[in-house]
Each structure stands twice: as C-alpha cells, then as structure tokens.
Amino acid sequence: MNPPRHGEGDHLKGGGGGPPSQAAADDRLPTSIASPTPPLSPREDIIRKIIHVDMDAFFASVEQRDNPDLRGKPVAVGGSSKRGVVAAASYEARAFGVKSAMPSATATRLCPDLIFVKSRFEAYRMVSRQIREIFARYTDLIQPLSLDEAYLDVTEDKQGIGSAVKIAKAIRAAIREETGLTASAGVSYNKFIAKLASDQNKPDGLCVILPEQGPEFVASLPVRRFHGVGPRTAEKMARLGVHTGADLAAKDLTWLSHHFGSWGEYLFKAARGIDDRPVNANSIRKSIGGETTYFDDKRSEGELRDAIEEIIDLVWERIERYKARGKTVVMKARYSDFRTVTRSRTVGQYVRNRAEFAQIGHSLLDQILPAEMGIRLLGLTLSNLVSEGALRSDTDMQPRFAFDAIEN
C-alpha cells in the first residue's frame, strides 16, 4: 500500500468498502473494541488518539518570516565559515540537497546562492512557547521532542471535541494565524505511526492513519523512515535483506533479537504497527550527540581541532533544540584500523553554554593526540541530562542561562 497524499479536505483510504470521509475516519479512532490477539494487535481496548505535530523547516522558516528578503530563497541557519555547520535549511535550500548537520562548505558547493543567517535561539524559543500554548488548549498530555515538534494525546481533549482530526486541523490553523508559520501533523493510534504520518505530506500537510491501515502503511515504508533507524542500522538491515517494513515484519522475534539485541522486540512490534508507549509529558532524552565519518582520515592537530569544532556546533544546536543541559561529555574516536576509543568527563555543574561544551570537547581531544594512525570518525555526546525548565526551577539561586547561538 502506498498511502495517498491528502490534504485537509481529501478523503482517506480505509479498510474495505469505499473511502470514508475525514470525519467518518476519525470517528473510528476512539471505538472501543475487543482485541483478539492482545500481544500483536495494533488496537487496544480503547484506541488512543495521538497527534504528532512537526513545524516545517522551523529555524529557517522563522528567519524567512522575520526577514521578507529571505522569502522564496535558499536559506541555511548556521555558520558560513570553513568550520561552520548547517543547523537548518529552508525548503528552497533542501531542493539543492542541503541538509541539517551538513558542513557549510559542502552546502555552498551544492547551492552557490545559499544565504547563511546566524541562529537566533531566543526567537525560536519564543515561537516554541506560542506553539506549546496552542497545544495546551486541547490537552495537558504534551511530550515535546524539541522546540519544533511534539506528541499530543487527545484521547480525552479539554474542549470535548472528540475528533483528533478536527483538533489537528485547529492546531495547524492556529499556528498559521498566530505565528505566521506552517506545521505538518500526523494523526494515528500510537506515537510510532503518528510520527511517520506527520512526515508523509510535508510541508504543511495532514495525514491520518487508521488502526486497520497501520500495519499495511508501515509495511510500505523503507526502514530508514523508522524512528531510531539511522544510516548504520539501515545499512546493516540492507545487508540482511531487510529494506522495507514488510521485510522486517517477515522476521520473527528470535531472528530480530539475534541480530539487534534488546532492540529486536521494538522492531518486531514496530513492523506490525504496534507501539504502546504513552505520551509522557515529563520525558527527557538520555543523551544528545552527533558524530561524523570522514572520507579521508584526519591526522594533524589542526585538522582534528577543526573537525571537533564542527561536531561541537552540530551537537550544541541539538542541545539547544531539545532545551536540555547535561553533566557528562563523551568523545568517541575511531582510528583508521577501525579501533574505537572513548574518553569522557563528568563535571560538577551542568554544562551551560557552547563555550563550556567546547572546552570539554577539546580537552577530551587532547587525550588522544597525537593521532599518527589517523582518525576516520569523531563524535561527541552530552548525557546525564535534565530539562532546562527543571534545572531553572531547581533552586532560586540558579542564575538564568545565557544561550549561545551557533558561531560563525
């Protein structure tokens, strides 16, 4: 099945019969049913109504909104210097292949007319707060994933609307009216499929996946679309002959556990459209990081200093996006012979700004210099995380943070 691209007024393809209307489709989301096979069925006694909202090219869209001269042009948020990294790209820039986390030099080669703008995290936070206030009109069960996306559980909504599709439409309309930006939304019966659905009709789209559509929808997708399946995992799956959700669903739990360890159970359920994770309003990621594999090994200290700076920019942008702070920094390095080493440092106070994070990153790099063998991969991760809000309210003596933008 290749789910149709559909806008707000289009019909949805349901299971059997003819295509129901949006309202009719949504009416089936809260139906109370008896599940014949509880461990494997994507349905529950009460089907949940989950919305995943994802802002469209958020950072770049804020810049285009605030500067009319940037509208319709390829824009990258981030540093334009040799060591710069693209934090976000407008859709005009993406058309040239420009992506977030891409070195600025590479982005410029792909799109010579690319316009770089320095990030303004306070502006993004302000819009994020507006969006969060819109969500809160309908539910208190809001799980932010970053400044620009969140899960909402609207099984029981504050306004008694009862229709997840109507709520998603209302949220998107309010975001457009009150912020001047667009958002895409996925509506389904669990978090895994709602997130997949929100990406289906981007930008400025809405996609609804009903319980009876879930397994077939998942089966039609490449596994690289699955949340948590990164490039390395996708490559491993390809070597094992797994390319799509259907390929994954054909594997039993024993096979998946053998090849993917404890993650095998998650993949087993996901391939069948099952995800019983709740929308957790108090969740916080365990770690935030990033790494880069190099075509040519890095050997000189200058090369490695430049490389670690790019990773610092990349990871700090993610830390800001997730509104988190942490105490432990881990550096991973892989040598040309594929031997991997890690170095870590835990500090007494939470790392508060990019300068502190960079200082720790460079001090960890010092521990593996000189690198005569050559480094083919470098990565940094921040862990022991706490949300910015929790840290700020921890004590009245805690000073307010000064957030650093990505440097040029």
**pLDDT of 392 over the 60 cut:** no
- Quick one: pLDDT at residue 186? 98
Beta strands in 141-243 (DSSP E): 142-146, 149-153, 183-188, 206-208
CATH number of the domain that residue 314 is part of: 3.30.1490.100
Choosing from 96, 121, 146, the residue where a domain stops is 121
Which pLDDT band, with edges at 50, 70 and 90, does 46 fall under? low
Count of structural domains, the chain? 4
176 with 232, same domain: the answer is no
Which pLDDT does position 7 carry in this prediction? 39
In a domain, 51, yes or no: yes
Residue 385, token pair as written in the block: 């995380």
Identify the H or E element spanning 72: none
What's the domain range around 194? 22-56+122-216
Same domain as 116, residue 130? no
For residues 46 and 5, the model is more confident at: 46
Report if residue 319 sits inside a domain: yes
Are 108 and 176 found together in one domain?
no
- Which residues, at least 6 apart from 209, have a Cβ–Cβ distance to it below 8 Å? 3, 186, 187, 188, 189, 193, 194, 196, 197, 217
Please indicate, yes or no, if residue 275 is contained in any of the structural domains.
no
Residues 303 and 386 in one domain: yes
Q: What is the pLDDT of residue 321?
A: 79
Residue 153 within a domain: yes
| Domain-located, residue 11 | no
- Structure confidence at residue 278 (pLDDT): 93
Spatial separation of the C-alpha atoms in residues 170 and 58, rounded to whole Å: 19
Q: For residues 361 and 354, give the distance between their C-alpha atoms in angstroms, rounded to a whole number.
A: 10
Indicate whether 112 and 245 sit together in one domain. no
Q: Which of 121, 146, 166 is the last residue of a domain?
A: 121
Give yes or no: residues 175 and 323 share one domain.
no
Return the number of other C-beta atoms located less than 10 Å from residue 190's C-beta.
Answer: 26
pTM for the predicted model, two decimal places: 0.70
- pLDDT for the residue 9: 34
The predicted-structure confidence for 309-338, as pLDDT tens digits, reads as follows 989 988 998 888 777 889 999 999 999 888
Q: What is the mean pLDDT of the segment spanning 105-119?
A: 94
Please confirm, yes or no, whether 149 is among the known catalytic residues.
yes
Phi (first) and psi of residue 96, to 5 degrees: -95, 0
Residues 133, 33 within the same domain = yes
Predicted confidence at residue 27, as pLDDT, reads 44
Residue 371: predicted pLDDT: 87
- Catalytic hit among 92, 149, 310, 388: 149
Q: Residue range 117-122: average pLDDT?
A: 90
Cα torsion 68, 73, 74, 80 to 10°: value is -50
Q: What is the pLDDT of residues 164-204, one digit of tens each?
A: 999 999 999 999 999 999 999 999 999 999 999 999 999 99
Mean of the per-residue pLDDT values of the chain: 84
